[in-house]
Chains A and B, each alone.
Chain A
């Protein structure tokens, strides 16, 4: 899952980004609204965490311009916690709202909740065949048995399950699993697919030759 964090306060942006990375998200950062909007328009993020009060272009403007072209989920992050501002944010097409100062755990939970809602899953647990993923607890189970996975493996499984029954291209996987500073080679994808098949069976991820991969729910 790839996240964009747009926040002008360096310390805050860094800690939010780092936290999300530890939650196995691929995280891009922007220190102002203009740059943030540019990135949000040019990559398909799974969610944008957007600060309201920013130099150059504030969060409302970024949101408005983004919404003209894309339905990327947006979580507004701001120091204003008045009801009026929350309503304004939600009316402008924000998917959720979090007032500063916030708990990092709440931020992560909301990020996940927004992405789940956008993906059509309302509960954190989704079962595909005999594989069950819990995005909150960050666990993968084969049948009843929990299987140890690395952060990247989990991220890939999460992304594939979210887009289950769709053919997922390698480019899409690459864009959503690695952030802009990641210099991993695209053949790393093959490694993760191989590892996941090893752990959950050959049929968990199927290859569609010349197109990409697919996780089928039945």
Chain B
């Protein structure tokens, strides 16, 4: 089972979203907490403030009898959420040391024109702040009208030390408790409902914002990832279509610089080569079968013709002769195809022996002379002795091909010049004829399989297989040499072969 989807796009999208959501959530939570803290700090300051107004007035009422309302002793478990801290800010006593007018002055001030304790409590009640005062024994000395029932001061023992201020949040109220061994407990509290309402609003707002950002991030991410993965899609599309057989398909490259763009162009080059070699293969097969079809057609037609009715002996002989000629042509063709398929599959083995290129060339010239005589063509030789190691049978075949071409494509009564010399440790042949020559297009294709410069030129006699020059080229190259051709229409043709002379 896979938990993650297979698609790279989805995987990247998922990771990206997780990361984005994590960051956004962390930021929003931090912001929320910060806001909450600020709000509580403000609230605490608000709850601390009345102390300066309350304490002096409480001093004055110290003699008053406690109210008959007695609050329960605090439960030890009530300490939950209580947050003791040594008062460092302005406390009940500290207030006296604080800046501003001295305590004595303030008391006078308050006594002179300030409101009474009850009035202050009333004012505070208007601000939703309640005040409860317990004496050291835990008896309520006074309490605001809006003070909730059932409140208790801090647990026992706290009074032991000096003055303390503690804060707690409990049962929907925020309370600041001033504990002093002399005065007992003064609790100033207020409902946190408004703050919490505000905070929960903020919470919702932040959640909304977070969702919006993540949603937007999803969209942007989807588009961006899609965009950057587009080349992969293009690659896969093109590969699909190629697999379906359309080899002309290529990947549309949109961004050349990116890694995927580079991959695409490498793949396109590969596809080019694939297509070219496939086309070669297809054309070669088509050409080969075409070349076979013609002699087969001749044999079939000629034999059917001969057998269609009673004929003279001469007619039968002629038919058989034609069939034999065609069969021989087919043999030459299949031999050539076999040889070239060996070249293609790398099984083209040479059996090199020491020998002299000059002797071999003379031998070949002798072989071709009767053919040349038939057409009144003179062969002139200009040969030097060049010793080397070579496969004499294959090299004989190569030279024979060149010379027989020189005869075949020559004009009646023309000439052939065969040259061989040694230069810079290499054997240089040249075979020149006085034929019609070739145009640039023919020169370009002359070494291709089944390419024939112009069938019309071979009108005399049977046309060749179209494999002679490709085979010659393969033999020369197998010997580590090269073959080239120079020609112009009406100026004859020169084939040059250069072979290392070892």
Task: List residues of chain A with CB under 8 Å of any chain B CB.
Answer: 8-9, 11-12, 15-16, 18-19, 22, 31-32, 53-56, 79-80, 100-105
**Is B322 a contact partner of A101 (Cβ separation < 8 A)?**
no
Give every chain B residue within 8 A of A8 (Cβ-Cβ).
455
* Least distance between B229 CB and chain A CB atoms (Å): 39
From A105, which residue of chain B is reached at the shortest CB distance? B304
Main secondary structure of the interface of B (DSSP, over half): helix
* Least distance between B289 CB and chain A CB atoms (Å): 8
Instruction: Choose among A15, A79, A102 the residue that contacts B302 (Cβ–Cβ < 8 A).
Output: A15
- If A79-B297, A101-B300 touch, whether A18 touches B322 (CB-CB below 8 Å) is no
**Is B298 a contact partner of A15 (Cβ separation < 8 A)?**
yes
Give every chain B residue within 8 A of A19 (Cβ-Cβ).
301, 305, 308
**Is B305 a contact partner of A31 (Cβ separation < 8 A)?**
no
Task: List residues of chain B with CB under 8 Å of any chain A CB.
Answer: 286, 289-290, 293-294, 296-302, 304-305, 308-309, 322, 325-326, 454-456, 459
Main secondary structure of the interface of A (DSSP, over half): loop
Report the separation of the CA atoms of residues A72 and B347 in the bound assembly, to the nearest whole angstrom. 53
* Least distance between B459 CB and chain A CB atoms (Å): 7
**Is A103 a contact partner of B304 (Cβ separation < 8 A)?**
yes
Give every chain A residue within 8 A of B454 (Cβ-Cβ).
55
* Least distance between B441 CB and chain A CB atoms (Å): 15
* Least distance between B295 CB and chain A CB atoms (Å): 9
Instruction: Choose among B308, B322, B459 the residue that contacts A104 (Cβ–Cβ < 8 A).
Output: B308
* Least distance between A163 CB and chain B CB atoms (Å): 29
**Is B294 a contact partner of A100 (Cβ separation < 8 A)?**
yes
* Least distance between B334 CB and chain A CB atoms (Å): 16
Instruction: Choose among B296, B305, B325 the residue that contacts A101 (Cβ–Cβ < 8 A).
Output: B296
**Is A9 a contact partner of B298 (Cβ separation < 8 A)?**
yes
- List 15 other contacts, CB 8 Å, given A101-B297, A104-B308: A9-B297, A11-B325, A11-B326, A15-B302, A15-B322, A32-B456, A54-B455, A79-B290, A79-B294, A100-B296, A100-B297, A102-B297, A102-B300, A104-B300, A105-B304
Give every chain A residue within 8 A of B456 (Cβ-Cβ).
32, 55-56
Report the separation of the CA atoms of residues A11 and B300 in the bound assembly, to the nearest whole angstrom. 11
From B452, which residue of chain A is reached at the shortest CB distance? A55
Report the separation of the CA atoms of residues A192 and B317 in the bound assembly, to the nearest whole angstrom. 34
- If A8-B455, A32-B456, A104-B304 touch, whether A79 touches B293 (CB-CB below 8 Å) is yes
Interface centre among A12, A56, A80 (most CB of B within 10 A): A12
Give every chain A residue within 8 A of B309 (Cβ-Cβ).
22
Give every chain B residue within 8 A of A16 (Cβ-Cβ).
301
Give every chain B residue within 8 A of A11 (Cβ-Cβ).
298, 302, 322, 325-326
Q: Can you offer 14 A-B residue contacts whose CB atoms are under 8 A?
A: A9-B294, A9-B297, A12-B294, A12-B297, A15-B301, A22-B308, A55-B455, A55-B456, A56-B456, A79-B293, A79-B294, A101-B300, A101-B301, A104-B304
The list of the 7 closest CB pairs from A to B, nearest first, reads A101-B297, A55-B455, A100-B297, A55-B456, A79-B293, A101-B296, A79-B290
Report the separation of the CA atoms of residues A102 and B294 in the bound assembly, to the nearest whole angstrom. 10
From B287, which residue of chain A is reached at the shortest CB distance? A79
* Least distance between A111 CB and chain B CB atoms (Å): 14
Report the separation of the CA atoms of residues A54 and B463 in the bound assembly, to the nearest whole angstrom. 12
Interface centre among A22, A54, A101 (most CB of B within 10 A): A101
Report the separation of the CA atoms of residues A134 and B1 in the bound assembly, to the nearest whole angstrom. 78
Give every chain B residue within 8 A of A32 (Cβ-Cβ).
456
Give every chain B residue within 8 A of A15 (Cβ-Cβ).
298, 301-302, 305, 322
Report the separation of the CA atoms of residues A158 and B300 in the bound assembly, to the nearest whole angstrom. 29
**Is B290 a contact partner of A80 (Cβ separation < 8 A)?**
yes
Report the separation of the CA atoms of residues A104 and B319 in the bound assembly, to the nearest whole angstrom. 14
**Is B301 a contact partner of A104 (Cβ separation < 8 A)?**
yes
**Is A104 a contact partner of B305 (Cβ separation < 8 A)?**
yes
**Is A12 a contact partner of B455 (Cβ separation < 8 A)?**
no
Interface centre among B289, B298, B459 (most CB of A within 10 A): B298
